[in-house]
Amino acid sequence: MAAIKGISIVAKLTERLEELGKQSPAPLGFARPSARRRSPAMLIIGEIGLADAASRIAAMRDNAVDALILRLGDKHAIPEDLVTALDSRHWGVISGGATEDEVGELQKAGCDFMLIDSAQAPAALLKENDMARGFAIHIGLTEEEARPLEDLPFEFLVLESNRSWWPLTVNQVMRMQGAVSLVSKHIVLKVEACPPTGDLPLIRDLPIDALLVDLSRMPAVELDALRKAIDELSPRKPRSEKGPAALVPRIGMGPAREEEHEDDEDDE
């Protein structure tokens, strides 16, 4: 996205995360009423490598995932055929070594967000621009580790899971909640396998805003099932509706994360 002088342009990913669970606005004036589309309760972000990416993306259904994220490895330039394949897609990259100039070229190609995959990445990647940035967190995150994440310009944080977590136990939910509750940024859960449908409401309510899936490991039939399950998932309720305990502030941290994903109902 090109920057416009004097105007702050919000990354598309950030906008979509803010709109989770909301209905599209009703038409104005005398426009004919139509079914109002609701944003999903969580996004699906598909991770893909550069090898054969253009052909794989071309063969993918438009709504299979909400966004794509490319593993760049040591390469920080996107081939022209891949740029063309990504033209109608919402996409970002995983990188830990891109230079400022390379980030600029990625933005020109249409890149909207970046997951910085190493704490040893150049600090220049933290400079303000129109690209949303993310960083990885882990189970057992401490307050000391969480504080800088709150102050640095990260719009989302990625928590990695593994297959042994499913189906979720109370202990595992508590461990996940322990990490999520220390930060107020949008949380993306990276999954190796499709979580059981019954676990999705628990994941949503942590709250998790998106699932990051490796498209090279997840069969198309599992991805389709996940897409269907998330599309049928109701929006999470604001924490103010879950009782007084949700209003208690965290010691030593900033204000609790606001939950805007209400179930907007038509006034009829």
Distance of alpha carbon 177 from alpha carbon 174, whole angstroms: 5
Which of helix, strand or coil describes residue 114?
strand
DSSP category for residue 37:
P
* Structure token pair of residue 88: 């109608």
Are the CB atoms for 215 and 223 separated by under 8 Å? yes
Are the CB atoms for 138 and 179 separated by under 8 Å? yes
Are the CB atoms for 200 and 233 separated by under 8 Å? yes
Question: Would you kindly state where each structural domain of the chain is located, as residue ranges?
Answer: 39-234
Distance of alpha carbon 195 from alpha carbon 200, whole angstroms: 7
Are the CB atoms for 64 and 224 separated by under 8 Å? yes
The per-residue pLDDT for 52 is: 82
The per-residue pLDDT for 237 is: 81
The per-residue pLDDT for 232 is: 95
Minimal CA–CA distance to 209: which of 19, 12, 52?
A: 19
The per-residue pLDDT for 240 is: 52
Asked if CATH classification 3.20.20.60 holds for the domain at 39-234, the reply, yes or no, is yes
The per-residue pLDDT for 32 is: 55
39 membership: H or E segment, kind and range:
none
* Structure token pair of residue 164: 């042994």
Each of the 268 residues of the chain gets a pLDDT tens digit; together they read 333 333 334 578 999 999 997 765 555 555 554 444 578 999 999 999 998 899 889 888 888 999 999 998 887 789 899 999 999 899 999 998 888 899 999 999 999 999 999 999 999 999 888 899 999 999 999 999 999 999 999 999 999 998 899 999 999 999 999 999 999 999 999 998 899 999 999 999 999 999 999 998 889 899 999 999 999 999 988 755 544 444 444 444 444 455 544 455 454 4
